[in-house]
């Protein structure tokens, strides 16, 4: 019995492609997802000037192939590919048939190989977008597979792969020896940053790869890519008070513009390089606040204050991703701006930016579909439907579950503490919304910073109430009276 369903398979060339969710074997399904999650948790992005952060010792260095992560399963007399989202590729496809002839006879037990599915192009190195184009266009002769890890099986007869990569890699070389369409990814074993820097210059700067993958002996995996720059529009900010009493921007919320003029949230940046720049941005943005029917929380729980889309900045990022650790598309809300008001439409496929750093204001750039175009991200990842218009979605109203207030008068001044717990009712519509929110307000007029807030999120009502009770125990002491 095959471990996947072919009920909705579509022909591509002489092979077939099954859609998302086609794997029916729960063990295979969970193993594929667990591998993707484990590898993603070990990845760390570096730029070439951060190579000093690589650990000492032996390093396995490979070119980073610009393709899609798939797993090749070799079992009995069958060879097929499974994606982390449980698509399946099988049939009379040239690289799969080559694997049947060369790799399958060398496997002593069921073997699963992780690798990059790529598509050759006439000029230049492969690009991730070429894979989708080849699959949808039936151009299976362009497809190849670079193997970079052994998940199960191999040449020894043992079901479990060796724990250390330095012991798995020779097995990959043995399995893939002599391959043309299916090869073990080129790898050099080096020590020291100088050798890694040399390989980066040879492979990445030489145009042969998008970067490097560096595997360390402590199981960490580093992706080394050139820094990437984006021009984006500021649409909101959070604030704090500096040690010298100045109003500062803690972080700014950024958006790109889709082809139809709608804005899509990109992410936030809080690395400005000093309080002087933070003060300048606060003075720049505070006069231009705008109304919004959408609320976006920062990582600390503070809500962004939306502003008119007038200012463009350049940010440097180490990487851009269009999928999460489980290969699910990242969703970002699309907004429209008009007459001083932001209107939320709906979440659509977007990206996540890693390690953003503010580099400069772009006063030479305008807020238009060219200067802050969403398609800037296509240089690093695949993002479909950028030309599709986002239509408004009606979000359910939140339900207030608890609201409690306490007050205390000291030296003629009234201090207030307030607890509010609510259920958002929005988590199934917008993944950015939590299920429950616990909000604590602490107002003390005699304090340097009179208003303090704490926001905690919870997946269940029971956990929300636990957080609420902890806040009460901590914040309501002797002398506070319920209102």
Q: What pLDDT does residue 343 have?
A: 93
Sketch out the chain's domains with CATH numbers.
Answer: 10-224 (3.30.470.30), 242-379 (2.40.50.140), 399-482 (no CATH)
> If pLDDT is split at 50, 70 and 90, which confidence band does 432 have?
low
Question: Which residues make beta-bridge pairs with 268?
Answer: 253
Exposed e or buried b for every residue in 44-83, given b needs 16+ CB within 10 A? Answer: bbbbbebbeebeeeebbbbbbbbbbbbbbbbbeeebbbbb
Q: What is the pLDDT of residue 319?
A: 84
Residue range 46-64: mean pLDDT, rounded: 91
β-pairing, 10-12 vs 188-191, is unpaired
Q: What percent of the chain has pLDDT over 70?
A: 98
Confidence band of 129 (pLDDT split at 50, 70, 90) = confident
**Rounded to an integer, what distance in angstroms lies between the CA atom of residue 345 and that of residue 429?**
12
Kindly report the average pLDDT of the chain as a whole number: 90
The model's pLDDT over 342-381, given as tens digits with 9 standing for 90+, comes to 999 988 899 999 889 999 999 888 999 999 999 898 877 7
Q: What is the pLDDT of residue 426?
A: 87
Residues 6+ apart with CB under 8 A from 254: 232, 233, 234, 235, 265, 266, 267, 268, 269, 313, 315
The pLDDT of residue 263 is above 80:
yes
Query: What's the pLDDT score for residue 447?
Result: 85
Contacts within 8 Å (CB) and 24+ apart, 241-248: 241/448, 241/449, 242/275, 242/278, 242/279, 243/275, 244/275, 246/275, 246/279, 246/282, 247/279, 247/282, 247/283, 247/286, 248/275, 248/278, 248/279, 248/282
Residue 300: pLDDT over 80:
no
**Bigger pLDDT: 130 or 276?**
276
């Amino acid at each position: 019995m095959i471990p996947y369903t072919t009920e909705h398979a579509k022909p591509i060339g002489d092979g077939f492609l099954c859609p998302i969710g086609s794997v029916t074997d729960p063990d295979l399904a969970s193993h594929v997802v667990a591998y993707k999650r484990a590898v993603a948790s070990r990845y760390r992005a570096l730029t070439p000037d951060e190579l000093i952060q690589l650990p000492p010792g032996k390093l396995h260095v490979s070119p980073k192939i610009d393709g899609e992560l798939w797993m090749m399963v070799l079992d009995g007399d069958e060879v097929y590919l499974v994606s982390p989202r449980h698509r399946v590729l099988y049939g009379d496809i040239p690289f799969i048939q080559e694997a049947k002839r060369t790799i399958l006879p060398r496997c002593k037990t069921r073997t699963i190989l992780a690798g990059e599915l790529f598509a050759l192009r006439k000029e230049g190195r492969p690009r991730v977008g070429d894979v989708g184009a080849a699959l949808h266009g039936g151009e299976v002769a362009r497809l190849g597979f670079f193997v970079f890890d052994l998940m199960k099986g191999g040449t020894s007869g043992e079901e479990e792969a060796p724990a250390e990569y330095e012991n798995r890699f020779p097995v990959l070389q043995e399995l893939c020896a002599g391959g043309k369409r299916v090869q073990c990814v080129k790898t050099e074993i080096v020590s020291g940053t100088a050798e890694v820097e040399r390989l980066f210059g040879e492979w990445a700067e030489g145009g042969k790869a998008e970067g490097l993958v560096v595997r360390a002996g402590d199981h960490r995996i580093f992706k080394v890519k050139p820094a990437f720059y984006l021009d984006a529009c500021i649409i909101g900010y959070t604030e704090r008070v500096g040690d010298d009493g100045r109003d500062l921007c803690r972080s700014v919320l950024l958006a790109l513009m889709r082809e139809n003029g709608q804005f899509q949230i990109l992410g936030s940046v809080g690395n400005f390089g000093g309080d002087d720049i933070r003060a300048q941005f606060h003075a720049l943005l505070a006069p231009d606040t705008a109304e919004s029917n959408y609320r976006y929380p920062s990582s600390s729980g503070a809500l962004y204050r939306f502003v008119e889309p007038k200012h463009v900045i350049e940010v440097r990022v180490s990487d851009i991703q269009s999928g999460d650790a489980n290969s699910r598309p990242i969703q970002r809300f699309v907004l429209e701006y008009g007459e001083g008001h932001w209107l939320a439409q709906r979440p659509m496929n977007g990206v996540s930016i890693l390690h953003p750093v503010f580099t400069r204001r772009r006063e030479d750039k305008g807020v238009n579909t060219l200067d802050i175009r969403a398609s800037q991200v296509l240089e690093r990842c695949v993002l479909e439907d950028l030309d599709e218009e986002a239509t408004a979605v009606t979000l359910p109203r939140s339900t207030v579950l608890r609201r409690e207030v306490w007050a205390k008068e000291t030296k003629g001044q009234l201090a207030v503490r307030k607890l509010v717990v609510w259920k958002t009712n929005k988590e199934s519509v917008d993944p950015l919304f939590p299920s429950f929110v616990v909000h604590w307000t602490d107002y003390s007029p005699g304090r340097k910073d009179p208003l303090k807030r704490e926001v905690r999120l919870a997946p269940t009502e029971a956990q929300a109430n636990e957080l609420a009770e902890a806040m009460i125990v901590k914040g309501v002491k002797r002398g506070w009276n319920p209102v």
